[in-house]
């Protein structure tokens, strides 16, 4: 396994699964990382047909809200984020995507600098059919602030309440992500360390 892939495998191993599906996605991802070095998107939109993504979820923990954008190609409400470049660390990709799509520096202070969640998703929309293996990072936002999303990627953006989340068409794993986020936000620092949530 090359060094860049080994680093990603360590990140994936450190994620504590929230449920059976995330446990399955983690195992599937680790097996995939062991089987190939071709894990980064090299040609848009889908070469190779499975590749790594860093999601960047903007969270206001005090207001208990998340910021999502209406993605132009997928036609879903999604967090910001994008494909990890060859050799790029996923955390660096998350910071880059926050700057590119939100115009803000990434403040990884909600639960730390490790991803909270991992999903394997077959894409929908204009370039459907390939698989994104997504690491879900959290950055701190402020619900009272306006965030201008990159208009090349999103048609609009808005805050959604964590407690009354009712979007008809988010990422298919978003309700599970919110449940894990809720658990992480309620965990004490000691509980977070014990469950590998920074």
Residue range 21-35, pLDDT digits in tens: 999 999 999 999 999
| Structural domain boundaries enclosing 50 | 3-185
Average pLDDT over residues 41-47: 67
Q: What is the pLDDT of residue 33?
A: 92
Decide if 192 is inside a domain.
Answer: no
DSSP bridge pairs for 57: 138
Q: Identify whether the C-beta of residue 22 lies closer than 8 Å to the C-beta of residue 117.
A: yes
pLDDT value of residue 45 = 67
* pTM higher than 0.85: yes
For 140-178, b/e burial (b = at least 16 CB within 10 A) is: bbebeeebebbeebbeebebbebeeeeeeebbebbebbb
- Domain of 136, CATH number, reads 3.90.79.10
Q: Over pLDDT 90: what percentage of the chain? A: 61
First to last CA, the chain: 27
Please count the CA atoms within 13 angstroms of the CA of 162 that sit on its side-chain side: 22
In a domain, 167, yes or no: yes
Is 84 domain-assigned?
Answer: yes
Whether the pLDDT of residue 190 is over 90: the answer is no
93 CB-near residues (< 8 Å, 6+ apart): 54, 82, 83, 84, 85
Task: Specify if 191 maps to a domain.
Answer: no
Average pLDDT of the residues in 75-89? 91
Percent of the chain clearing pLDDT 70 (strictly above): 87
> What pLDDT score was predicted for residue 129?
65
Domain annotation covers residue 121: yes
Most confident by average pLDDT, 35-49, 117-131, 166-180: 166-180
Q: What is the pLDDT of residue 158?
A: 92
Please check whether residue 193 lies inside any domain of the structure.
Answer: no
Please count the structural domains in the chain.
1
Whether residue 107 has pLDDT greater than 90 = yes
For residue 23, which phi and psi values (nearest 5 degrees)?
-60, -45
> Does the residue 119 lie in any domain?
yes
Q: Determine the Cα–Cα distance for residues 36 and 142; give it in Å rounded to an integer.
A: 40
> What pLDDT, in 10s, does the model give residues 140-186?
999 999 898 999 999 999 999 998 877 788 889 999 999 999 999 88
What pLDDT, on the 0 to 100 scale, is given for residue 51?
Answer: 82
Strands (DSSP E) contained in 14-75 are 50-60, 65-71
Q: Tell me the three state secondary structure of residue 126.
A: coil
Q: Is residue 197 part of a domain?
A: no
């Amino acid at each position: 396994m090359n060094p860049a892939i080994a680093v990603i495998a360590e990140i994936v191993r450190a994620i504590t699964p929230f449920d059976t599906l995330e446990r399955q996605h983690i195992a599937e991802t680790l097996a995939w990382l062991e089987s190939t070095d071709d894990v980064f998107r090299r040609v848009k939109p889908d070469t190779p047909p499975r590749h790594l993504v860093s999601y960047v979820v903007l969270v206001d923990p005090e207001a208990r809200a998340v910021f999502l954008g209406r993605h132009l190609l997928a036609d879903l409400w999604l967090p910001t984020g994008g494909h990890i470049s060859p050799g790029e660390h996923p955390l660096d990709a998350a910071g880059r995507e926050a700057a590119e799509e939100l115009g803000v520096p990434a403040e990884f202070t909600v639960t730390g600098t490790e991803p909270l969640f991992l999903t394997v998703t077959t894409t929908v929309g204009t370039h459907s059919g390939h698989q994104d293996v997504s690491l879900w990072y959290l950055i701190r936002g402020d619900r009272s602030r306006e965030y201008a999303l990159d208009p090349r990627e999103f048609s609009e953006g808005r805050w959604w309440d964590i407690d009354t989340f009712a979007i008809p068409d988010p990422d298919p794993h978003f309700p599970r992500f919110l449940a894990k986020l809720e658990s992480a936000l309620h965990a004490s620092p000691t509980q977070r360390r014990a469950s590998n949530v920074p």
